[in-house]
C-alpha cells in the first residue's frame, strides 16, 4: 500500500493569488483540529499560507467504507464547536449533513428508561462521528484548494521526529509493502516522496518548515520535539483508567428510536447515539461500551467466540438484541484506553512549533468537549496567525495563542475529570450536586450559576466555568487522587501477595 498524496482535485473558481513567499505551515495530523486549521489558513489567508498536512493513517473517507472502528468514535458538536465551524463559509451544511439531530437523552437505570429533563438549547447541535466530520472537512478542502498549489495532504505518512533547532520534521521511510488491518491502519513505516523533500539515508524523509503544528493527538510527536528543546515546557500525562470499545448496531425498538443519547448506567457502562443518516440510513446507531480498568468485566474477557460475546451482551443489554456480527466486531477490537494530559505552554517560540487539540490537552470524554475545544483552538490559532505579515511575527502570535488557550485547556481537563468521580460516594455526591444546583439556579438564576454541564453546552469559556465551580471541581479532583492512591496500594499489595504465594509454593517442603 503506497502512501498517497492528494495534490489535485476540482479547483475552486476563486483560487487565491499565491503570495511571493508564503509561510510554509506543516500540520501533523488530519484530525478535526488539523483540518479546520488548514481550512481557516487557506480560506482567509489570501494566499499567504502554504499548508501541508501529514497523516499517519488513511484518508478518513476510506475509513468510512470499512467496518466500525475506534476512529469512528461518536461526537457531539456543541456550541463552541459550532461557532468555530460556522466561520468557514459552506462548512456547517456539510458537517450537518453527516450528523443527526440531537434532542432527547434517556438513561437506562435499574431496568427502566428514564428521560432526563433538559431543554433543546442544552443538547448538542448534532451528533456525528469523528471520521464523518473529518471526511466532510476533507471534501471542502479539496473542492476549494485541491488545485491551488497551496495545499498538500499526504496520508499513510507517520511523522517520527521534529527538530526544533533546525526547524525540520522527519517522516518514516516508505515500507516496500504494507497491508492494512481491518481498522485501516497501515504498516508502521510509510511515507511518500514529495518533490521538494530531502531523502535521508534510509532513515526517512525530512522537510523544513516555517511553522509546525502538532495536531497529532494525545501521543503527539511534535510535543516530544518541544519537550526536548523547550526549558519551560512541563507536562503531566496519565492513563485515566477508562477502557472502551465502539461499534454500530441497528436502532433498537422504541423507546430508544430517535433519541440522541441513551446512557446505560451499569456494568459495563454503555452509550448509544444516532449514526450518520446520510451515510448509512437512519437504521444504525453508534454503540460504545466501557469500564474502568480496575473493574474489567471478567465475563467479557472470558469470551472467545462471537456467540459468547453476543450471549454476554444480551444479558447486559437485553433490549438491544445485538446482532452476532456487531458482537464479533466488538470482540475482535483491541480495547482502547483514554489519557489525560495537561501542558504548561502550547508552543515553542524559537522552534516555531505549536500544539492544538488532544496534542495539547486530552481528557476523558465525560464532558463531550475534547473535539469542540480542538476546533476552538484551531480557530483561535488561525485568527492570530492571520494577523501576522511576515514569518518574524510568528513568535508573538504563538505567545498570544498559549496565553489564551492554556487556561481553557487546563479548565477542560479539570472540569471533565470532575464529571467522572472514581468512587461510589463521589457518584452520589455528583448526582446530588446536579439536582441541587439545577434547582437553585432555576429559583435564583442571578445568585447561583447553572450546573457545569449546562454552562458547558452553552459554550461559556471553560476557564470561567472552572472559576465558578472551583470548590466542587477541586474537591472531586482531590477525592479522585485519594481513590487512585488506594487502588495503587491495593494493586501493589495483591502483586506482593501473589509473588509471596508463588515463592512459598515453589520452595520445597521443609526448606
Ligand atoms: C468515546 C469517545 C467519545 C467522545 N465524544 C466526544 C464528544 O461528544 N464531543 C467532543 O467534543 N469530543 C469527544 N471526544 C473527544 C474527541 O474525539 C477528541 O478530542 C478529538 O478527536 C481531538 O481532535 P484532534 O484533531 O485534536 O486529534 P485526533 O482526533 O486525535 O487526531 C489526531 C490525528 O493525528 C494523527 N497522528 C497521530 N500521530 C501522528 C504522527 N506521528 N504522524 C502523523 N499523523 C499522526 C492521528 O492518526 C489522527 O488522525 C470523544 C472521544 C472518545 C474516545
pLDDT range class, residue 169, cuts 50, 70, 90: very high
Q: Which atom of ligand 1 is nearest to the CA of 336?
A: 53
Q: What is the mean pLDDT of residues 302-319?
A: 92
Q: Can you list the domains of the chain with their CATH numbers? A: 5-102+122-236+340-416 (3.50.50.60), 238-338 (3.30.70), 421-500 (no CATH)
| 57 touches 186 (CB < 8 A) | yes
Lowest mean pLDDT among 52-66, 174-188, 310-324: 174-188
pLDDT range class, residue 200, cuts 50, 70, 90: very low
- Each residue's pLDDT tens digit, 424-437: 888 888 889 888 98
Tallying the residues shown for the chain, one arrives at 511
Task: Report d(CA 208, CA 49) in Å as an integer.
Answer: 15
| pLDDT at residue 257 is higher than 70 | no
If phi over 0 gives left and psi between -120 and 50 gives alpha, with beta otherwise, what is residue 345?
beta
Q: Which atom of ligand 1 is nearest to the CA of 360?
A: 26
Percentage of residues in the chain having pLDDT higher than 90: 50
Site to probe by mutation for ligand 1, drawn from 76, 155, 365 as the one with most ligand atoms within 8 Å of Cβ, is 365
Q: Is 133 helix (H, G, I), strand (E, B) or coil?
A: helix
- What does the pLDDT read at residue 260? 65
Task: Report d(CA 178, CA 127) in Å as an integer.
Answer: 34
Kindly list the distances between the CA atom of residue 164 and the CA atoms of 231, 325, 474, in Å, as whole numbers in the listed order.
13, 47, 36
φ, ψ dihedrals at 335, nearest 5°:
-70, 130
Task: Report d(CA 179, CA 187) in Å as an integer.
Answer: 6
- Each residue's pLDDT tens digit, 53-75: 999 999 999 998 887 777 888 88
| pLDDT at residue 222 is higher than 50 | yes
Ligand 1 first shell, C-beta below 6 A: 28-34, 54-57, 73-76, 130, 158-159, 215-217, 221, 244, 288, 357-358, 365, 368-372, 374
Q: Tell me the whole-structure pTM to 2 decimals.
A: 0.88
| 72 touches 134 (CB < 8 A) | no
Q: Which atom of ligand 1 is nearest to the CA of 358?
A: 26
- Each residue's pLDDT tens digit, 268-302: 888 888 877 777 777 788 889 998 877 788 899 89
- What does the pLDDT read at residue 192? 36
| 360 touches 34 (CB < 8 A) | no
- What does the pLDDT read at residue 196? 37
Percentage of residues in the chain having pLDDT higher than 70: 87
| 452 touches 469 (CB < 8 A) | yes
Place of cell 480495547: 335
| 351 touches 332 (CB < 8 A) | no
Task: Report d(CA 52, CA 422) in Å as an integer.
Answer: 42
Q: Which atom of ligand 1 is nearest to the CA of 369?
A: 11
Task: Report d(CA 408, CA 413) in Å as an integer.
Answer: 9
Place of cell 461499534: 247
Q: Cα–chain-centroid distance for residue 140?
A: 21
Lowest mean pLDDT among 120-129, 164-173, 360-369, 370-379: 120-129
Site to probe by mutation for ligand 1, drawn from 3, 4, 27, 29 as the one with most ligand atoms within 8 Å of Cβ, is 29
Site to probe by mutation for ligand 1, drawn from 358, 367, 369 as the one with most ligand atoms within 8 Å of Cβ, is 358
pLDDT range class, residue 118, cuts 50, 70, 90: low
Measured from the Cβ of residue 179, the count of other Cβ atoms closer than 10 Å reads 8
Q: What is the mean pLDDT of residues 483-504?
A: 86
**Helix (H), strand (E) counts: the chain:** 16, 21
Give residue 215 CA to ligand 1 midpoint distance, Å. 9
- What does the pLDDT read at residue 194? 35
pLDDT range class, residue 197, cuts 50, 70, 90: very low
Q: What is the mean pLDDT of residues 134-143?
A: 97
Nearest CA to ligand 1 atom 37: 216
- What does the pLDDT read at residue 345? 97
Q: What is the mean pLDDT of residues 297-308?
A: 92
Cell numbers that stand for 37 in this block? 486549521
Give residue 417 CA to ligand 1 midpoint distance, Å. 18
What stretch of H or E contains 174?
Answer: none
- 200 forms bridges with which residues in the sheet? 204
Higher-confidence residue: 215 or 423? 215
The mean pLDDT value of the chain amounts to 86
| pLDDT at residue 8 is higher than 70 | no
Task: Report d(CA 148, CA 233) in Å as an integer.
Answer: 37
DSSP state of 70: G
| pLDDT at residue 10 is higher than 50 | no
Amino acid at each position: 500500500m503506497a502512501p498517497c498524496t492528494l495534490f489535485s482535485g476540482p479547483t475552486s473558481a476563486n483560487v487565491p493569488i499565491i503570495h511571493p513567499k508564503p509561510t510554509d505551515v506543516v500540520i501533523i495530523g488530519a484530525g478535526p483540529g488539523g483540518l479546520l486549521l488548514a481550512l481557516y489558513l487557506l480560506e482567509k489567508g489570501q494566499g499567504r499560507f502554504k499548508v501541508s498536512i501529514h497523516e499517519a493513517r488513511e484518508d478518513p473517507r476510506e475509513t468510512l467504507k470499512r467496518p466500525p472502528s475506534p476512529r469512528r468514535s461518536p461526537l457531539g458538536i456543541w456550541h463552541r464547536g459550532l461557532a468555530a465551524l460556522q466561520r468557514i463559509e459552506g462548512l456547517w451544511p456539510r458537517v450537518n449533513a453527516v450528523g443527526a439531530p440531537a434532542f432527547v437523552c434517556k438513561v437506562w437505570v435499574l431496568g427502566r428508561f428514564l428521560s432526563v429533563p433538559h431543554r433543546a438549547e442544552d443538547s448538542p447541535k448534532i451528533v456525528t462521528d469523528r471520521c464523518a466530520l473529518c471526511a466532510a472537512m476533507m471534501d471542502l478542502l479539496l473542492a476549494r484548494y485541491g488545485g491551488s498549489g497551496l495545499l498538500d495532504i499526504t496520508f499513510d505518512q507517520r511523522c517520527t521526529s521534529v527538530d526544533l533547532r533546525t526547524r525540520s520534521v522527519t517522516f518514516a521511510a516508505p515500507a516496500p509493502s504494507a497491508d492494512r488491518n481491518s481498522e485501516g491502519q497501515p504498516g508502521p513505516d510509510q511515507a511518500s516522496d514529495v518533490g521538494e523533500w530531502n531523502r535521508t539515508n534510509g532513515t526517512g524523509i525530512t522537510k523544513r518548515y516555517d511553522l509546525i503544528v502538532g495536531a497529532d493527538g494525545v501521543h503527539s510527536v511534535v510535543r516530544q520535539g518541544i519537550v526536548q528543546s523547550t526549558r519551560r515546557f512541563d507536562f503531566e500525562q496519565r492513563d485515566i483508567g477508562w477502557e472502551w470499545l465502539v461499534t454500530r448496531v441497528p436502532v433498537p425498538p422504541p423507546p430508544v428510536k430517535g433519541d440522541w443519547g441513551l446512557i446505560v448506567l451499569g456494568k459495563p457502562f454503555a452509550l448509544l447515539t444516532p449514526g450518520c443518516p446520510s451515510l448509512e440510513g437512519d437504521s444504525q446507531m453508534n454503540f460504545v461500551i466501557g469500564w474502568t480498568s480496575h473493574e474489567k468485566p471478567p465475563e467479557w474477557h472470558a469470551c472467545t467466540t462471537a456467540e459468547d460475546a453476543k450471549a454476554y451482551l444480551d444479558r447486559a443489554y437485553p433490549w438491544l438484541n445485538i446482532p452476532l456480527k456487531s458482537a464479533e466486531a466488538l470482540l475482535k477490537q483491541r480495547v482502547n484506553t483514554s489519557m489525560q494530559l495537561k501542558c504548561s505552554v502550547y508552543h515553542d517560540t524559537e522552534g516555531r512549533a505549536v500544539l492544538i487539540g488532544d496534542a495539547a490537552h486530552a481528557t476523558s470524554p465525560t464532558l463531550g468537549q475534547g473535539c469542540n475545544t480542538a476546533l476552538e483552538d484551531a480557530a483561535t490559532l488561525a485568527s492570530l496567525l492571520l494577523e501576522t505579515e511576515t514569518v518574524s511575527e510568528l513568535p508573538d502570535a504563538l505567545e498570544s495563542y498559549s496565553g489564551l488557550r492554556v487556561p481553557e485547556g487546563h479548565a477542560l481537563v479539570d472540569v471533565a475529570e470532575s464529571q467522572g468521580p472514581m468512587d461510589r460516594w463521589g457518584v452520589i455526591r455528583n448526582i446530588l450536586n446536579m439536582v441541587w444546583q439545577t434547582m437553585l439556579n432555576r429559583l435564583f438564576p442571578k445568585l447561583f450559576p447553572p450546573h457545569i454541564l449546562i454552562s458547558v453546552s452553552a459554550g461559556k469559556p471553560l476557564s470561567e466555568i472552572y472559576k465558578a465551580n472551583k470548590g466542587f471541581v477541586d474537591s472531586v479532583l482531590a477525592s479522585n487522587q485519594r481513590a487512585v492512591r488506594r487502588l495503587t496500594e491495593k494493586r501493589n499489595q495483591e502483586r506482593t501477595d501473589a509473588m509471596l504465594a508463588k515463592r512459598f509454593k515453589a520452595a520445597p517442603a521443609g526448606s
